[in-house]
Amino acid sequence: MSGDSEAGADLGARLRDGDLTAAPAVLNLVESRSPEARTQTEALLAALSPATLGAEASAHIVGVTGPPGVGKSSLLSRLVAEWRARERSVAVLAVDPSSRRSGGSLLGDRARIEADPRDGAIFIRSTAAGDRLGGLAPATRAAAGALAAAFDVVVIETVGVGQSETEVADVADTVAVVVQPGSGDVLQFLKAGIMEVPDVLVVTKADLGRVAMRALADLRSALRSLGARDTAVVAVSSVAPASGIGKLVDALDAHRGRLDIATRRLRSRRLHALADFATEHGQRGLRALGGRREAERWLGSQDPALDAGTLERALEHRARSAEPPGSGTI
């Protein structure tokens, strides 16, 4: 094992041992774009693969998304407190839009999620989405998969502007979509097809009373029309005294309890590999694979124990092999 690979494997070993203090180093690693960091990240993911762990990582990976300004950060502050009251460790990856000028996170310079800074069982990091407004940063998938080996709950918070809802659904075990009463979100979600994404729907500002109850009724009606009656709809208020937070955690837990985690995580790893490959090589790389659908079909034939880094390298090898001689490399 090379020195670079060994560093990534060592970080993986720390997470396997439940060392939560490794989290900042893990995020610094997966966010780095250097060749050395990529090698280390691949070793990190391999050290935390189901083949190495003997099973899927035990954490509950929760996606939280919704329109800007809907109150996700206030809600997450309450959720983190509830999870800690239930003695669960929590990592939050808040994916923010990127600054066009600096490339960094627009919102990451201020603490939007309240938590006790002395509590070592809470880790919160803002990451920039890069050129994918509202979508997931490439590092988010690797970070979520790695931290799931050590934390009880890993949350991915995105600014929902369209594509992020479906992207977070490819990574998370359970997706909560947050809507605000009286905002027209229900109608917009129906138009965009987003109502098919959530595993749990959350109506914020339940303290508004009649307006919030109308939003609940509209959402339940929309779900019935889609044949998704089993999707939980929970009304919450983050204003003191907070309400509905315990019910929301129960609904998230209930959804995870119904999941085939192995199947869901396997699909997530394969989509992780394809997403990173597409980010690195673009449409030319996808064409070399025969298109996205053919790439997904081929990934479906691979060993289910393979980690995302190994699968991405396999995609690159396949794309290079498929390119005509003299066409250059992807």
Q: What confidence tens digit (pLDDT) does each residue in 78-117 have? A: 999 999 999 999 999 998 654 434 344 444 433 468 888 8
Other beta carbons within 10 angstroms of residue 185's beta carbon come to: 22
| DSSP secondary structure, 144-184, as one string | HHHHTTT-SEEEEEE--SSHHHHHHHTT-SEEEEEE-TTSS
User: How many other C-beta atoms lie within 10 A of the C-beta of residue 228?
Assistant: 15
pTM for this entry: 0.87
Question: How far is residue 91's CA from residue 22's CA, in Å, rounded to a whole number?
Answer: 12
Q: Identify the burial level of 302 via C-beta atoms within 10 angstroms of its C-beta, where 0-12 means exposed, 13-18 middle and 19 or more buried.
A: middle
> Top-level CATH class of 1-53?
mainly alpha
pLDDT band, very low/low/confident/very high, at 30 (cuts 50, 70, 90): very high
pLDDT for 188 beyond 70: no
Q: What is the mean pLDDT of residues 306-312?
A: 89
pLDDT level of residue 262 (50, 70, 90 thresholds): very high
Q: Which residue has the higher pLDDT, 292 or 324?
A: 292
- The rounded distance, in Å, linking the Cα atoms of 57 and 211 is 40
Domain boundaries, the chain: 1-53, 60-258, 260-330
172: closest CA among 247, 268, 252, 249?
A: 268
Average pLDDT over residues 30-44: 90
Instruction: Give the pLDDT band (50/70/90) at residue 164.
Output: low
Length of the chain, please? Answer: 330
With pLDDT > 70 as the criterion, what percentage of the chain qualifies? 82
Q: At residue 193, what is the residue type?
A: G
Residue with tokens 């980690």: 307
- Using the predicted structure, report yes or no on whether residue 141 has a pLDDT greater than 80: yes
Predicted pLDDT of residue 98: 47
The 3-state DSSP class for residue 293 equals helix
The reported pLDDT for the residue numbered 99 is: 40
Chain centroid to CA 23:
16
- Which residues are CB-contacts of 298 (< 8 A; sequence separation ≥ 6)? 289, 290, 318
What is the 8-class DSSP label of residue 195? Answer: G
Give the whole-angstrom CA distance, residue 234 versus residue 159.
20
- Does the domain spanning 60-258 belong to CATH 3.40.50.2000? no
What's the pLDDT band for 136 if we cut at 50, 70, 90? confident
Among 6-10, 225-229, 279-283, where is mean pLDDT lowest? 225-229
Can you give the pLDDT at residue 222? 77
Share the mean pLDDT of the chain: 84
pLDDT of residue 105: 42
**How many angstroms separate the Cα of 197 from the Cα of each of 167, 190, 221, 284?**
10, 11, 16, 29
- Residue 197: closest CA among 234, 224, 225, 172: 172
Q: pLDDT tens digits, residue range 288-308? A: 999 999 999 999 999 998 888
Q: Is pLDDT larger for residue 100 or for residue 146?
A: 146
